Every structure is written in structure tokens, then in C-alpha cells.
Amino acid sequence: MGFGYRHFLFESDGTMRHLSHRVADGLIFDQDFLPQYAGYELRHATVIIETDSGRPVRIHEIQADIWRFDYRGSMRDFMFESIREGQSSFIRKDGWEGRGREPSADAIEARKAYEAKHRWKPSPLEINQMIHAIWPKDAGRPVGAPAPVIGTSKKRVPMTHEAKAAFREIHTNNWRIIHAISDMSDQSLKAFRQLVGEEQLSGAERPGDHMMTALYGGFAAAADGELASRARWKNSKGTWYAVVTIYREVSKGMSETAAEFFEKCTGKKAAVAAARKLLAQHADRFDQGVSLEADVYPEGEWAPAH
């Protein structure tokens, strides 16, 4: 026995459409767009299905949420907003698992407001539509499959074991290369940049040596990026960010980000002062299993979620 998923999108007039896993994941991870829904607020449902040998057996749960699309048909800003508001309402909910405390009235109201803005409840008719789409032969009458929602991203090339093996080998060596570059002194890093740049130019003059030329070009770009990063950290002027992150312990030795607060400042000194202020402002959120961390970053080394 396993589990499967079906995604459905309900348009403004009630028309139900099917979302493939590829399109749904692309929207959630900001890799796809639906320009036909730009500016719209639509109802989305994820049907979690119990399966037997890959065949759907019964519905385990229906998760119904609201999806909002920007002017491009992207959900990026909405996803960040939904996560931030969900985390915030969860933090104000005092009755966390294992705490033994009842949630406050404010916490209950905050959660209700979040649910009202981001959730919806399918009607019996809409549930039947989803059931008939999953099991069309059990509808008692001919039922056509719901029209699919078409995204803009191209279908991915089927993955192969050979490609995965090559990626793993390259990925392992990447970390060694990253450490070799980042551990160098400034003078050594500049000398390294000079060497790889010369090798890149030399390779470009040799016909048939395109792959090595591209690799050395990548090393040169990595060195340039590291040098630029160091320059940003050394410059105490310009734009800096004061950031306070709240972490919630999910298991022993493992935490997740529960919320993040920031202030944009002019200069590192101002950012340090702002970080202290943010830390004091949110100190009452500290609790058993909840920690706060303050940091300052120059522009280019950190950016707000949206």
C-alpha cells in the first residue's frame, strides 16, 4: 500500500481542470507560469490517494488551498506570503505539541484569519467531480477527463542512471573545488584567477577544446564571485541588512526556520544597531525549543524572501 497525488484547479466559473505533477511542482518551486491565470485567485485541491500496486484505491485526504497568481501568472510572491503568514500564525499559537498549554484567544483568531485567507472547503459536488476524475468508470455514466492546465515550461528530458552517476561524481568534486577556492588568501585567489583566465584564453585558440575552455571559464567565474563577495564584506558602507531568524526545534539536533525579520540599513554600524533592536523586539518569542539568531549582511550576500 502506498500513496499518490492528484492536483485539481477550479476556475472562477467552477470549471475543474487537472494539474500534472510537473506543472504543479513547477508553480510551487517558481519554475513554471500560468499566464492565462495572471491576476486571478483560484481554488486548488490536492487529493492524497491510497494506492495498491500503483492503482488508486481510496481517498486518504483532500487538502484545499487558495492559489493567487501575479501579473505574470507566477505564484512566487504568493507562496512566500503564505509561508510567512502560516509560520507567523503558528508561532503565536502557544499550544505547540508537548508544551501542555492552551492556545491564547489571539492565537486562535490569528489561525482563523490565516485559514480564511488561504484555505477553502470543497462542496459535495466538487468532491464528486474529483472522485469521477480519478475513477471515471465508477461514475455510472460516461465522464470525460478534465482538461489539463498547460504550463509554459518545457517537458524535462527523461533522467537516466548514467546522467545521475555523472552528476554525483561532479557534485562530489565540486565541494573540493569550492573549498580550494574559498580557502585561499586574497593574493593567492587573484593569482589563481590569473592562471585559469590564461588557460581559458589559451583553450579558446585550440579548435576542438571547447569543454576544457568552458571548465576553466567556470573556474574563473567562481574566483570572480569569491573576490566580489570578499569585497562586499570588507565594505562597511553601502546597504546592509539586519536579520533576526527564529528557529524551531523539530527533533533532537535538528531545527527549521520558523520566521525571519529584517531591516534594510545604510552602513554596517547601523545594521548592527538594528539587529540588536530586532532581537530585543522579538525576544519574547524565545522558548524551550525556540531560538533566535541575529546577523548582519552586506547587500548581495542576503536578500529578503521576496
CB of 26 closer than 8 Å to CB of 7: no
How much is the pTM? Answer: 0.57
pLDDT tens per residue, the chain (306 residues)?
688 899 999 999 999 999 998 898 888 888 899 999 999 999 999 999 998 888 888 999 999 999 999 998 998 888 878 877 776 665 444 444 444 556 667 777 877 888 888 899 999 999 999 999 999 887 667 678 899 998 888 777 888 999 989 988 898 888 889 999 999 999 999 999 999 999 999 988 888 878 999 999 999 999 999 999 999 999 999 999 999 999 888 777 778 888 889 999 999 999 999 999 999 999 988 888 889 999 999 999 998 765
Residue 112 CA from chain centroid, whole number? 25
175: left (phi over 0), alpha (psi -120 to 50) or beta: alpha
- What the block records as the C-alpha cell of 171 is 557534485
